Amino acid sequence: MKVCCLVSGGKDSTYNAMKCKAYGHNVVVLANLYERGGKEKDSWMYQTVGTEAVGAVAQCFGLPLVRMAMEGVRGGEDGMEYVGRREVNEVEVLYALLYRVKEAFPEVEAVGTGAILSNYQRLRVEHVCSRLGLISLAYLWERDQTELLSEMISHSLHAITIKIAALGLNKNHLGKDLATLQPHLLKLNQLYQTHVCGEGGEFETFTLDCPLFEHQRIELDEVEVVEHDRSDIAPVLYLKLKKFHLVSKKGLTPEAVRVIEVDPSYRMQIPDTLVGAPRQDAGLPEAVLPFRRCGRAFYISSAPWNAQNGLSMSIESETACLFNAIRETLRRHQVSMSEVFYINVYLRDMADFAKMNAIYKQYFSSGPPSRACVAIDWPYGASGVIVECYGWGDTGKDVKRTLHVQSISEWAPACIGPYSQANVITINSSTKLISFAGQIAMNPPDLSLDTSKSVREQIGMSTTHQRRIEEALRISPSFLWKYAFVNLYGKNGEGMDLEEEMEVVTKNLGKRRGGLLNAVGIKAFPKGGNMEVQCWAVVAEGEDTVQERRRELNYVVEDVPFSLRLHFITDNEDFAACQLTLSSPSPVLQGSALQGAISKSLEFFLQALSQQGPERPSQILSLRAFYQQARTDPPTTSQQIIQAIQNSKALPEDVGPFTTAIPANFSGKTLFALQSWLFDH
């Protein structure tokens, strides 16, 4: 891609530019925001110290520079999310700067930044990029700082400290290069947990040379030490770069680079390109979707509508029809799309993924739900997409927390656009529920997927992504982790032993965390992958807050032996995750025998619920059934599965519309798996 790199002159923005080139991108222009007169500005977004010499940095890169002064600009917002404002703040000035970059360099497709740890900074850059149709490249994101600093030094990035602001750093450390200062930074990290790369504001740097400076490097001639904050413990000092010159590396003097100075008043002349309200799609049929609420939890499934809809529509029209209906259904029940925290999307054909996604993304903005999307052997007539939504009807900032990283990095796959890596819902004072996006074996730096990799290799990559996302949530060490559901989806026809591969998944994720395990074969995955891992987790304070319970039963229906396993994970107060697994040694059985076995298993399920006690969560929010259609004669249909559930006298009569039945293949003797969420009233 053609890239504009935001640069301050510091090590991080410079090294990210080096990474952009290493991953095959073409950096065509640099951009910078600065304070006039070289003044230092305390900012959560930008480094301003040293920016008086950014023109020299651009000359060394041999690239044009677009820069703009931050006049009359206040800081951003205190909150983590940013939804856009017309007032003059650091984010809107960045928007104006990059808008000008796009005008002057329309070929630019992406923006490179040196963000390592600051969600505040990353989210605001991503917000601006989304408004301008640009992709954010942040290859240093979530890197181990000790490893990253060593890597910068070993890759010949020569940067010096030009600001210090931490315990253990003093005037003597100003002007020191990274290699010289590295041992001291490591020592401070051990003593005071300071950030080795200065991500806590401990120090700022300025780059004098690097491999991308092909023809020239910078030498400082005169600097002034400025005392910004006097302190005997942690003084804040910085260098004002008063005189400097460029030194030729190859005996040649390159031509001067183009510098575009943007007048600060320019920001008042440009339109705000924030995405407007979702399209209404006049003329589409109206879909009526059932809505179920248990306490604050709610659930919507389009499956009943899909089963009855006989209309043939394009995938775009059907997706718009369903999400219009979801939005209207939520409005009638006084909840909103922002309170949906997880979505399952099932497609008839994975070739429709991009078309579906283009419509889907119009219905979500900041803090979107996490999501899994797979293609299945289609049991739902003329339709082409099924949507399940899970929500929590009280998602204020203290209740719902979203991890949505849209920047491409080396960390984990970016979620560019409509879904998040994870959503954390605070269920009560001691328990949180986490829904994770499905993970496939994408390569994070370029979002490619090598389909030649074995299933085992793809599982390794997917579970690594899962663990990194968990770590990025920064859940307190005082909370105990336990998986609720761990679903491994494998591609039909690949000959994999799903039970064996699930063992690999649980080993990679950490067996100590338990979980309701379900491994099934389905039709297809995004990017042509062979598998996907999708997890829900519960984190709670106290060893006994979340408990697991197991029940088993053997019985016979129509002379066919069945084995039933029932597994609960519950906090004994507000919620429970439950999985019912039915198996039989019989290679082929009558559909009526399976339906009878399902009815029997649901009776056992209800009995187990009643034995939990009156204070335990017992209201069924949703049911998701995976069934092995090929082992019945004739093959069982989704409607027969749902009918068997509806006909069961064990469950409430109104549960049927909240059941989604998915044809799948199991390894071994398993025929049927039912996953359910239970909540208190």
291-679 CATH pick, 3.40.50.460, 3.30.1330.40, 3.40.47.10, 3.40.50.1000: 3.30.1330.40
Alpha-carbon distances of 151 from 9, 10, 147, rounded to whole Å: 18, 15, 6
**One fold for 2-269 and 291-679:** no
Helix axis angle for 455-472 and 498-509, nearest 10°, is: 30
- Does pLDDT of 85 surpass 80? no
Q: What are phi and psi of 355, to 5 degrees?
A: -65, -45
Q: Which of 362, 367, 368, 291 is nearest to 326 (CA)?
A: 291
Residue 276's pLDDT is 45
- Dig out the tokens for 114 from the structure: 């040196």
d(CA 347, CA 286): 20
Residue 275's pLDDT is 45
Stronger pLDDT, 623 or 286, i.e. the higher one = 623
Residue 230's pLDDT is 83
d(CA 366, CA 434): 18
CB atoms within 10 A of CB 13: 25
Report how far Cα 395 is from the mean position of its chain's Cα atoms. Answer: 18
- Does pLDDT of 643 surpass 80? yes
Find tokens 């395990």 and name the residue.
517
d(CA 339, CA 323): 14
Judging by DSSP bridges, how do beta strands 110-112 and 135-137 pair with one another? parallel
Q: Evaluate whether 70 touches 258 at the Cβ level (below 8 Å).
A: no
- The 479-491 sheet, strands edge to edge: 400-403, 422-428, 431-436, 531-541, 479-491, 516-522
For residue 128, the SS3 value is helix
Find tokens 């389009």 and name the residue.
302
Supply the pTM of this predicted model.
Answer: 0.92
d(CA 482, CA 491): 27
Reported as a single tens digit per residue, the pLDDT across 375-389 is 999 988 888 999 999
Q: Which of 263, 260, 348 is nearest to 65 (CA)?
A: 260
- Does pLDDT of 299 surpass 90? yes
Averaged pLDDT, 192-201: 94
Reported as a single tens digit per residue, the pLDDT across 557-576 is 999 999 999 999 988 778 89
Residue type at 598 in one-letter notation: I
**Domain 2-269 top-level CATH class:** alpha beta
For residue 500, the SS3 value is helix
Q: Which residues contact 598 (CB under 8 A, 6 or more apart)?
A: 582, 641, 644, 645, 648, 672
Q: Which range is least confidently modeled, 147-161, 400-414, 447-461, 656-670?
A: 656-670
- What are the boundaries of each domain within the chain? 2-269, 291-679
DSSP annotation of 190 reads H
Q: Is the peptide bond before 235 cis (omega within 30 degrees of 0)?
A: no
Three-class SS of 2-24:
EEEEECCCCHHHHHHHHHHHHCC
DSSP annotation of 279 reads P
Q: Evaluate whether 639 touches 307 at the Cβ level (below 8 Å).
A: yes
Reported as a single tens digit per residue, the pLDDT across 498-543 is 999 999 999 999 866 778 999 999 999 999 999 999 999 999 987 7
Helix axis angle for 119-132 and 90-104, nearest 10°, is: 40
pLDDT tier at 274, thresholds 50, 70, 90: very low
CB atoms within 10 A of CB 443: 13
Q: Which of 671, 647, 673, 669 is nearest to 661 (CA)?
A: 673
d(CA 522, CA 498): 11
Reported as a single tens digit per residue, the pLDDT across 144-177 is 999 999 999 999 999 999 999 999 999 999 999 9
Residue 37's pLDDT is 67
- Does pLDDT of 364 surpass 70? yes
- Does pLDDT of 86 surpass 60? no
